[in-house]
Amino acid sequence: MTLRAVLWDFGGVISTSPFEAFAAYEREHALPDGFIRGLNAANPDGNAWARLERAEVDLADFAKLFEAEAREEGHAVEAAGVLMCLVGGLRPQMVEAVRRCRRVYKTALLTNNWVDIHAGGGFTDHLDFAPEELFDVIVQSSVVGVRKPEPAFYEIACRELGIEPAEAVMLDDLGINLKPAQAMGMTTIKVTDPDSALGELGDMLGLDLRSPRHDVA
C-alpha cells in the first residue's frame, strides 16, 4: 500500500530521550546502571509505571507503588525525582520534520504519558506549541487507557486517522514499541540518531526532512 500517514513517538523522538536523565539520576543517587529502566521493564503490564500511564493510579499512589518496587529490589528512589527525568528538551529538527510531513501526509502523535488524575497536567505543559498544530490525531495512554506496546493502542491511532496499518510509518526509540506496529503491517523506524532517522523517513516519503528550515520553500 501507499504510505498515507506518519506516526511519531514523543519522548526519545520529538523530545530528547529520558534515558540519559535516568542515568544521571542513578549516578547522583548511587544506583546501579539501568536500575530505573529495569524497574519499568519488570512486570511491564502491571507495574506502577504502566498503571500510571494508563491513568489507573494518581501520582500519590504511583509514588507509593514505585518506591515500594524499588525497595523490593534493594534501593531507595524518590518517585517525583524520577518523573522529572521525563521532562526533556524538544528536538527542533524533529518538530520541523513533522511540519513538513503534515503538508503531504496525515500525522499522529502516539505517546505513553501520565497525568495527575486530580490536578491535571502532562506532557503538553512543557511544549511551546499546541500539539494540534502538528498532529491530526493525538493518542495518549493516560487518556485512552491502553499503552504501547499494547496492540489496541495502535488500532486506535489507525482508526482515528482512517487508515490501514500498512499505510503508516511509525517512529519510536524503543524496539519493543515498534514490534507490534510492524506485526500489524506498519513500516517502522527505530530512532537512535535523529538525523539518520529523518534521512530514512525522507527517502521513504520523497521529502527533504533534514535541510535547514530557511532552505526549504
Q: What are the residue boundaries of the structural domains of the chain, listed by start?
A: 5-16+89-215, 18-84
Question: Is the pLDDT reported for residue 107 higher than 80?
Answer: yes
Q: How far apart are CA 44 and CA 168, in angstroms?
A: 26
Q: What is the mean pLDDT of residues 144-162?
A: 97
**CATH annotation of 5-16+89-215:** 3.40.50.1000
Question: Is the pLDDT reported for residue 217 higher than 70?
Answer: no
Cβ–Cβ < 8 Å for 109, 13: no
Res. 128 pLDDT band, cuts 50 70 90: low
Domain 18-84 has CATH 2.60.40.420: no
Question: Is the pLDDT reported for residue 82 higher than 70?
Answer: yes
Res. 211 pLDDT band, cuts 50 70 90: confident
154, three cell numbers: 495502535
Element (H, E) at 81: helix 79-84
Instruction: Quote the pLDDT of residue 118.
Output: 43
Q: How far apart are CA 27 and CA 188, in angstroms?
A: 33
Q: What is the mean pLDDT of residues 142-168?
A: 97
Q: Which residue has the higher pLDDT, 183 or 131?
A: 183
Instruction: Quote the pLDDT of residue 36.
Output: 97
Cα–Cα distances (Å) from 106 to 6, 151, 163, 164, in that order, read 6, 20, 9, 12
* Burial per residue of 38-54, b for 16 or more beta-carbon CB atoms within 10 angstroms, e otherwise: ebbeeeeeebbbbbbbb
Element (H, E) at 61: helix 59-72
pLDDT, one tens digit per residue, over 18-62 is 999 999 999 999 999 999 999 999 999 999 999 999 999 999 999
Location of C-alpha cell 543517587: 29
> 102: which DSSP letter?
H
